[in-house]
Amino acid sequence: MRVTLFDYGAGNLHSLAKALALAPGVKVHVEEDPLRALDTDLLVLPGVGAFGAAVARLAPGAEKMRRALDDGLPCLGICLGMQLLFEGSDEGEGQGLGFFRGRVTRLTSKHVPHIGWNSVEEDTALRDEKPGTVYYAHSFVCRAQEPDVVVGWTTHEGDRFPASVRRGKVLGVQFHPEKSSAAGVRFVHAFLEEVGS
């Protein structure tokens, strides 16, 4: 399986690439061009950076990327990558891919950013793997307008928001599985197995 990390120039991709490469039969490729990133078996939108800057890097290929997702290209969006799957964000200008309806807004809790371990509630993201407690590092969250796409929830100081969203082979997670110890790596590998079968 060829897995492509789309690099929008913001974050350290090393730990994510390492977690992906541990899965049997997976070859990880990092690509800065959003159109060339679509030549893959699985697209990964990684989780570090600012919405506006990431959208600007995505813009030349956004329409084709959205069409590829609609046509069934498997995709894993992590933290910022999940937020890019939505329509827009209060964090920065520009349009997301709009694969999920809704907007990204700032956490309403007292302590922002939300950094640390928290549980995933009502988790139905994957058939056979429930990561339980996972690592978060974010100030903004997705507010999904379609409740049926939310496949996991979490709460930070009274602000309840989607921990994960999914439609078909497109999964977005607000947490960082690559920083969530062995359970997070198992979660990523279970998703690869699910969409690759």
Q: Which of 138, 142, 156, 178 is catalytic?
A: 178
Letter string b/e over residues 85-123, b meaning 16 or more CB atoms within 10 A of that residue's CB:
bbbbbebbebebbebbebbbeebebeeeebeeebebeeb
Q: How confident is the prediction along the chain (197 residues), in pLDDT tens digits per residue?
A: 999 999 988 666 888 999 999 999 999 999 999 999 999 999 999 988 899 999 999 999 999 999 999 999 999 999 999 999 999 999 999 999 999 999 999 999 999 999 999 999 999 999 989 989 999 999 999 999 999 999 999 999 999 999 999 999 999 999 999 999 999 999 999 999 999 87
Q: Which of 114, 138, 156, 176 is catalytic?
A: 176
| pTM higher than 0.85 | yes
176 assigned to active site: yes
79 assigned to active site: yes
CATH number at residue 59: 3.40.50.880
Q: Which of 79, 91, 114, 156 is catalytic?
A: 79
Total domain count, the chain: 1
In angstroms, the CA 158 to CA 69 distance is 33
Q: Which domain holds residue 155?
A: 2-196
